[in-house]
Chains A and B, each alone.
Chain A
């Protein structure tokens, strides 16, 4: 699993990347009450806002950690947004992307690097 400074995670399987927000991000947001996942077929570039996650208090953008085409969205989150808090780095995934360039994934932080980054916040 790889991580961004915006607190997204990416898990690569072949050329398909599963993307979500980290446990740290879920904890910071508090109770998630609404998730807007991206439309299947959409082409995203790394850094694009491609989903929205809302707590009781506020709405926050989720940025695409890498470029690619959205091939699946976790539509279950519309019925059970609390999954993002319960299992942010598993069942709380947001979308699957067909990866344009696998090197973009490799360039992200590994878990040790992300944890070191969190320690600076």
Chain B
């Protein structure tokens, strides 16, 4: 009898073989076979990125173009951002909202050139996102999935120096600039952004050139490959929420402390999905709000851990958390009532039945080092 494989077939990225060749430990993530760590391990990879430059394969994320007569106006039907005001060469963080004001996904959308909007969404959400965008914008805009492109991120204080050797123009970009550039002999879509809190770039590459670009960057002694394990601990230290954990369809942008993404013009017009709830929460305050927590004793608090007051009453739950390699203590994100959300508020997190002291802390836990001005 033929052997029936018990594991589901995972999708691969253009770089999967390169990860295996580097000795990566591979895991399933968003349906893809992805590197969780390389030979050096999560701690060293994390600290290397904070000190030098880390190279990440994020090709599982969805890359798409939104085109139409007025793609910026069309995109505003789904998001609360000021995309009509987005200048050429700029990128903006936003989110897809449902009619109840819950977050369907968070995303980046940019104008790197004249070809509509370039949109990057989360890998685990992308199929759903594209269906939603196509249905909601039918007749006004079309979404094209860019399945023939890889996406990598180069992050850390030495990222700019390492990338400008090959693509000199990136040195003239500031945080959240996005451009279509020639580099490594191919057409790139580059943004100066990322999800580690460090300076750095995300680089979209034609599939056929992905391995060559990856290996060329790794040949620089400032650059090492970094897995998803360190990507998660870096974004946690940076206080950045993770979709599917800190954000989901029940969480509003106001609860998630992402109110900056609700543009003033859009607030005044109230013309985005879920505006009734979001505007109400903006004026009256939400029932719960996302905060950062520093765990002051004991084990790291992870997703699902209860948050209690000092009296032991449950007030919320950790939505993501773990050990911070930079601060050498447990950090977490979670939701608590606004009355308990001021930095310095003493709370407890319950880990394996034990209440442990923690403190509400302003995020980012580790300062962002974005290059906003050249």
Q: Which residues of A are at the interface with B, using a C-beta cutoff of 8 A?
A: 30-31, 33-34, 36, 52, 54-59
Contacts and interface: CB of A to CB of B under 8 A. Distances in A.
B156 interface: no
B299 A56 contact: no
Interface in B20-51: 36-37, 41-44, 46
B43 A57 contact: no
B229 A30 contact: yes
Nearest to A58: B302
A29 to B, nearest CB: 10
A55 B44 CA distance: 13
Nearest to B36: A57
A59 B233 contact: no
Nearest to A78: B298
Contacts of B299: 34, 36, 52, 54, 59
Contacts of A59: 299-300, 302
Nearest to A82: B43
Given A52-B299, A54-B323, A31 B43 contact: yes
Q: Chain A: interface secondary structure?
A: strand
Nearest to A36: B299
A57 B325 CA distance: 11
Contact of B42 (A34, A36, A52, A56): A56
B8 interface: no
A46 to B, nearest CB: 21
B300 A34 contact: yes
Specify which of B233, B323, B330 lies most central, judged by the most chain A CB atoms within 10 Å of its CB. Answer: B323
Contacts of A30: 37, 41-42, 229
A58 B43 CA distance: 13
Contacts of B352: 36, 52
A56 B325 contact: yes
B71 interface: no
Contacts of A58: 302
Interface of B: 36-37, 41-44, 46, 229-230, 232-233, 299-300, 302, 322-323, 325, 330, 352
B233 A56 contact: yes
A56 B43 contact: yes
Contacts of B300: 33-34, 54, 59
B298 to A, nearest CB: 8
B223 to A, nearest CB: 21
A56 B229 CA distance: 8
Contacts of B36: 57
Tell which of B37, B43, B230, B302 has the most Cβ of chain A within 10 Å: B43
Nearest to B46: A56
A34 B321 CA distance: 14
Contacts of B325: 33, 56
Q: Which 9 pairs between the two chains have the least Cβ-Cβ distance?
A: A31-B43, A33-B323, A56-B42, A31-B41, A30-B41, A34-B299, A56-B323, A57-B229, A56-B233
Contacts of A57: 36, 42, 229, 232, 322
B302 A55 contact: no
Contacts of B42: 30-31, 55-57
**Taking each of A34, A56, A57, which has the highest tally of chain B beta carbons within 10 Å of its own beta carbon?**
A56
Contacts of A33: 43, 300, 323, 325
Contacts of A31: 41-44
A17 B37 CA distance: 34
Contacts of B232: 57
B120 to A, nearest CB: 25
A36 B352 CA distance: 11
A31 B36 CA distance: 13
A55 B37 CA distance: 12
Nearest to B230: A56
25 contacts: A30-B37, A30-B229, A31-B41, A33-B43, A33-B300, A33-B323, A34-B299, A34-B300, A34-B323, A34-B330, A36-B299, A36-B352, A54-B300, A54-B323, A55-B42, A56-B43, A56-B229, A56-B230, A56-B322, A56-B323, A57-B322, A58-B302, A59-B299, A59-B300, A59-B302
